[in-house]
Copies of this chain bind each other. A is one copy, B any other.
Amino acid sequence: MADQHELRDKGLRLTPQRELVLAAVRALEHATPEEVAERVKSTHPGINLSTVYRNLETLENVGLVQHSHLGHGGVRYHASTEEIHAHLNCESCGTIIEVPIDATASFTQSLLDGYGFHTDLAHLAIAGRCESCFNKP
């Protein structure tokens, strides 16, 4: 069972496209499918955008990558190996601040206590204003 490659271990075929998509997600952090495709093309120019989409979905199904929504809804992918973190997204300048999940623990605990809700703060960003944007017109 324990194969020799992480993709095969998950029951997936090992294709150059798939490996490159996974590598790109890992290298880029918070990348859109478009950005992943762009990156893969530097090594494998022929890759098709739909292949990127399909592989992102496949990799997410086996738990190697995850998506989240920053800004106003666009999808972005990151590797599952990254530390879990929440995203603070400034609505003025677009800056993303990463917040370790520990810093959110008491909040998520209060949602559990108050509403029985098991929070996944990684999936959607938290909107607002960064310090410098807040101190402007």
The binding surface of chain A is classed by DSSP as mixed
Q: In the complex, A129 Cα to B125 Cα: how many Å?
A: 16
8 Å CB contact of A120 from B110, B120, B129: B129
Contact A124 B125 (CB under 8 A): yes
A119 to chain B, nearest CB (A): 4
- Asked if A117 meets B124 with Cβ closer than 8 Å, knowing A73-B73, A110-B103, the reply is no
8 Å CB contact of A127 from B74, B90, B119: B119
- Asked if A69 meets B99 with Cβ closer than 8 Å, knowing A119-B88, A129-B117, A131-B116, the reply is no
Count A interface residues, CB 8 Å: 35
Chain B residues with Cβ below 8 Å from A111 are 88, 99, 126, 128
Give me 11 other A-B pairs in contact (C-beta within 8 A), A73-B75, A88-B117, A117-B129 excluded: A97-B115, A104-B107, A106-B106, A106-B110, A107-B107, A111-B126, A118-B128, A119-B128, A120-B129, A123-B128, A124-B125
Residues of A within 8 A of B (CB): 69, 72-75, 88-91, 97, 99, 103-104, 106-107, 110-111, 114-121, 123-131, 134
